[in-house]
């Protein structure tokens, strides 16, 4: 019997006009329970014992075998990262972190590797015209991370495309002067 059903009986028996919440508080304060614990008693069997893999309802809303999600993108599709503005391209390479058969890679790195081979350790691909969306192979250049750090240190990262080679030479010269 619920507390809602018990309240009118309680009020008529004791000639009171208590609310449902007051009766509920009375029962709790005096430790009066229904005896139901929600636990199985020792030896009691569950209703679904022996029904391995019982699936009731919902079959029509489940994914069917062989169906592809509507938001799946094909190999070669591109997306622009909202955080940093770089273009990512979907490639058929196993993802080393998840083991998934495809992954997204930075487009400038992928194109550089297609034209010039693997990028050596300590090197990175930069843009001559500072436009992250211009992944034309003539716009890409390979520089060391040390050179990039020196260029950023002196605030020369946004120098015009015509000055990029000079900027890199300046970074090299500065590093050699510091080493000497």
Dihedral of alpha carbons 99, 80, 77, 62, sign: positive
pLDDT of the chain, 180 residues: tens digit per residue: 889 999 999 999 999 999 999 999 999 999 988 888 889 889 999 888 888 887 888 888 888 898 888 899 999 999 999 999 999 999 999 999 999 999 999 999 999 999 999 999 999 999 999 999 999 999 999 999 999 999 999 999 899 989 999 999 999 999 999 887
**Environment class of 92 (CB within 10 Å of its CB; exposed 0-12, middle 13-18, buried 19+):** exposed
| Predicted model pTM | 0.64
The SS3 assignment for 63 reads: coil
Evaluate whether 109 touches 94 at the Cβ level (below 8 Å): no
Total number of residues shown for the chain: 180
> How much is the pLDDT for 60?
86
Structure-block tokens of residue 137: 């192979």
**Environment class of 171 (CB within 10 Å of its CB; exposed 0-12, middle 13-18, buried 19+):** buried
> How much is the pLDDT for 28?
92
Q: Does domain 78-179 have CATH number 3.90.75?
A: yes
Q: Report d(CA 111, CA 45) in Å as an integer.
A: 63
Q: Taking the domains of the chain in order of start, what are their residue ranges?
A: 1-33, 78-179
């Amino acid at each position: 019997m619920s507390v809602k059903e018990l309240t009118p009986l309680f009020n008529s028996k004791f000639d009171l006009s208590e609310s449902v919440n007051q009766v509920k508080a009375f029962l709790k304060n005096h430790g009066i329970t229904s005896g139901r614990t929600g636990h199985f008693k020792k030896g009691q069997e569950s209703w679904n014992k022996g029904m391995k893999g019982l699936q009731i309802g919902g079959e029509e809303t489940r994914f069917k075998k062989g169906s592809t999600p509507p938001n799946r993108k094909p190999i070669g599709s591109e997306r622009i990262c909202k955080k940093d503005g770089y273009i990512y391209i979907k490639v058929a390479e196993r993802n080393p972190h998840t083991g998934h058969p495809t992954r997204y890679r930075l487009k400038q790195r992928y194109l550089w590797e297609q034209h010039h081979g693997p990028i050596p350790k300590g090197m990175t691909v930069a843009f001559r015209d500072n436009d992250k969306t211009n992944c034309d192979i003539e716009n890409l250049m390979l520089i060391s991370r040390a050179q990039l750090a020196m260029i950023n240190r002196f605030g020369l990262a946004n120098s015009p495309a015509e000055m990029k080679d000079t900027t890199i030479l300046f970074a090299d010269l500065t590093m050699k002067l510091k080493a000497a």
